[in-house]
Structure 1
Amino acid sequence: MSKGRLIVLTGPSGVGKGTLLKSLLQRHKDDLFLSVSATTRSPRPGEVDGKNYHFVTRPQFERMVAQGEFLEWAEFAGNCYGTPRKPVEEKIRSGKWVILEIELDGARQIRRSFPSALQIFIAPPSMVELEARIRGRAQDPEAAILRRLQRAWEEIEAAGEFDIQIVNDDLERALGEIEIALFEPVAAVC
């Protein structure tokens, strides 16, 4: 992996992106670098500033937007999220593969600024299962859950915009599909 690359992982809230990403990074810790996003939302139990997210205030976030410090940013479920530009660009220049775990609007922004990025969409097996996962986390108020579910419908409709679509109905199978997309050489077309 001598040539740097940007990989975008997107899917609805609760689809299991974080779990897949954690497993992928454990298996390929020397090959992949996870970009840590900034957010204005409060930390969930167990989340660590600088590891899970860079937790910032809305005024800090707005200053960062105004100064062009994000590759992409969006507001989702009442909070802002953004990918800090500098660490991603530095890692790619040094030959690292950088993974962004971002939502649909951010993925679309990346597609415009980094058209060579590999874009992977993680889909739920069904909306019923997705709702059960979101509610099972017991971390969001009802209004936030409903906003996440409404947004999930919109995101799933956009899945065709992505290079690869993977249904996360079985963690190991979905992880294997991501690994194939990243590490298996593409067969030459004759």
Structure 2
Amino acid sequence: MENKKDKKTGCLGVFIILIVLFIAMYSCTSKLTGKSNKEDPVQATATKEDTIALRFNEDGSFKLDTDRGTDEAMTEIYHKAKEDCNIYDNIPTIIENMNNYMYNPWENQNMMEQLIYFGTIIDNNKYASDKEKYIGRKFVTVVKYVYRGAESVEDATLGRNLLVKKIKEYRE
């Protein structure tokens, strides 16, 4: 039991480090490219760092006003991601970071909430290509039924395998 807890804590730590690296990388990229955040009112008032702090607790769990693992929680995550979607413009980096969790995307609720959030961001992002939007939708599809308790992990494994194949094709 102790070993599983250490493993989960380690995975959460790795995810938080990836988010911090993603934020740092984006900051450097936007300074180099000279992109402005004045296109969209959400972008003008919030940065990725602010958004992540607003949306996630220190332990990596999503800040929710409803009970976790419910239809209402899914809807809340979805709507918050749609509000935030155009703050993010480095879609390939998000896909690569989320792909790191495809070996077991149902490991815990935090991971599933993050996949739902970032998958929705990709699917609704104005910078994403059609292929990237498809992958974003699939990130959500792979975990949403397990998150709500409507499917078992075994039932969702086929969807995960198809997503892994699509990500592989996307990289080529």
Q: How does the TM-score come out when normalised to structure 1?
A: 0.31
Which structure: greater helix fraction?
2
Which structure: greater strand fraction?
1
Q: How does the TM-score come out when normalised to structure 2?
A: 0.33
